């Protein structure tokens, strides 16, 4: 049986980062780590890299106003950052790459990214990422990266997501240490964040990790549904979709379904 109890101390102890994860606020149960992270950032000006971590969320938030299922055994955390406006759009790339790297480092499993930032193993979603920011003029007041990873989740117990989701334990046939995954993840987030803030680019690696490019897709945005081939991604992270009529549409945010 894998030791799976989480605590702030078990994460921060000897963590090889300068600031990401040096402060962890842990809750056994919480509505959503996003809400607490936003409050910490807005009202109290929490130190950069502060992590809000919950064993279980009772009102987990997904992208596009969806609910995120977040039972005990999974990872649910939010990281508070204060990036500059120039690399705010790259946080989407940063978060998904950090998840791919840390899943591989902690378990050996290979995963891919479905635009913009779902992480999949063999076509099934293992991780969702939500980024919320507060920008006033050209100043980023804060950005919160929320990451939910299905770790020790028996998908057979959740028929509503069984066809589209997977978990690390279902993939490996054994329980996985959440602590190991979280610690790798925080180190990776900081490494990529420092690279970005030093003017580096992670665009090419993110682009190379996308399963979406060249595929026939349906993309739902708040306003419309588009069909076509995912032709490319721009440096700001937007998707360039070649429609069936030959037109090219730039999509900034949306939900992609991969077609056969």
Please say which residue, 161 or 195, places its beta carbon nearer to ligand BTN.
161
In sequence order, which residues have a C-beta less than 8 Å from that of residue 251 and are 6 or more positions away? 219, 221, 226, 238, 239, 240, 241
User: In the window 21-50, what residues touch ligand BTN (CB under 6 A)?
Assistant: 32-34
**Is residue 256 a contact partner of residue 230, using CB atoms and an 8 Å limit?**
yes
Among 8, 12, 27, 62, binds ligand BTN (CB under 6 A): 62
Please say which residue, 155 or 229, places its beta carbon nearer to ligand BTN.
155
The number of residues that bind ligand BTN (CB under 6 A) is: 21
Among 49, 89, 116, 146, binds ligand BTN (CB under 6 A): 146
Q: For residue 63, state whether it binds ligand BTN (rule: CB under 6 A).
A: yes
The encoded tokens of residue 202 equal 């992670």
Q: For residue 100, state whether it binds ligand BTN (rule: CB under 6 A).
A: no
In angstroms, the CA 83 to CA 219 distance is: 29
Least CB distance to ligand BTN at residue 242 (A): 25
Please say which residue, 140 or 145, places its beta carbon nearer to ligand BTN.
145
Least CB distance to ligand BTN at residue 134 (A): 16
User: In the window 111-140, what residues touch ligand BTN (CB under 6 A)?
Assistant: 118, 128-130
Please say which residue, 70 or 238, places its beta carbon nearer to ligand BTN.
70
**Is residue 77 a contact partner of residue 52, using CB atoms and an 8 Å limit?**
yes
| Pairing label, strands 24-30, 225-233 | unpaired
Q: Which residues is 81 bridged to in the sheet?
A: 143
C-alpha 238, offset from chain centre:
16
- Cis upstream peptide for 116 (omega within 30°): yes
Is the Cα torsion angle 40, 141, 197, 150 positive or negative in sign?
A: positive
Task: Pick the piece of the chain touching ligand BTN (CB under 6 A) from 21-29, 146-154, 159-167, 230-238.
Answer: 146-154
C-alpha distance from residue 206 to each of 27, 64, 84, 120, 236 (Å): 32, 22, 20, 14, 12
Please say which residue, 50 or 57, places its beta carbon nearer to ligand BTN.
57
Least CB distance to ligand BTN at residue 27 (A): 11
Least CB distance to ligand BTN at residue 248 (A): 26
Where on the chain is the footprint of ligand BTN (CB under 6 A)? 32-34, 57, 60-63, 66, 68, 70, 76-78, 118, 128-130, 146-148
């Amino acid at each position: 049986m894998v030791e799976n109890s989480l605590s702030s101390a078990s994460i921060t102890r000897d963590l090889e980062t300068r600031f990401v994860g040096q402060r962890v606020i842990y809750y056994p149960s919480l509505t959503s780590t996003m809400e607490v992270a936003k409050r910490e950032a807005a009202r109290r000006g929490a130190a950069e890299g502060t992590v809000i971590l919950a064993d279980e969320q009772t009102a987990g938030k997904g992208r596009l106003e969806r609910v995120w299922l977040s039972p005990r055994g999974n990872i649910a955390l939010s990281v508070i950052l204060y990036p500059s406006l120039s690399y705010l759009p790259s946080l989407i790339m940063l978060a998904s790459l950090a998840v791919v790297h840390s899943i591989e480092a902690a378990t050996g499993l290979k995963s891919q990214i479905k635009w913009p930032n779902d992480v999949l193993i063999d076509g099934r979603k293992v991780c969702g990422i939500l980024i919320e920011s507060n920008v006033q003029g050209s100043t980023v007041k804060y950005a919160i990266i929320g990451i939910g990873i299905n770790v020790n989740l028996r998908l057979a117990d959740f028929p509503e997501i069984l066809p589209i989701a997977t978990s690390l334990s279902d993939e490996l046939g054994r329980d996985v240490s959440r602590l190991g995954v979280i610690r790798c993840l925080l180190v990776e987030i900081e490494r990529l964040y420092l690279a970005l803030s030093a003017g580096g680019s992670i665009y090419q690696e993110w682009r190379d990790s996308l399963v979406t490019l060249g595929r026939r897709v349906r993309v739902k945005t708040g306003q419309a549904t588009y069909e076509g081939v995912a032709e490319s991604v721009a440096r700001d992270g937007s998707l360039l979709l070649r429609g069936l009529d030959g037109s090219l549409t730039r999509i900034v945010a949306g939900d992609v379904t991969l077609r056969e």
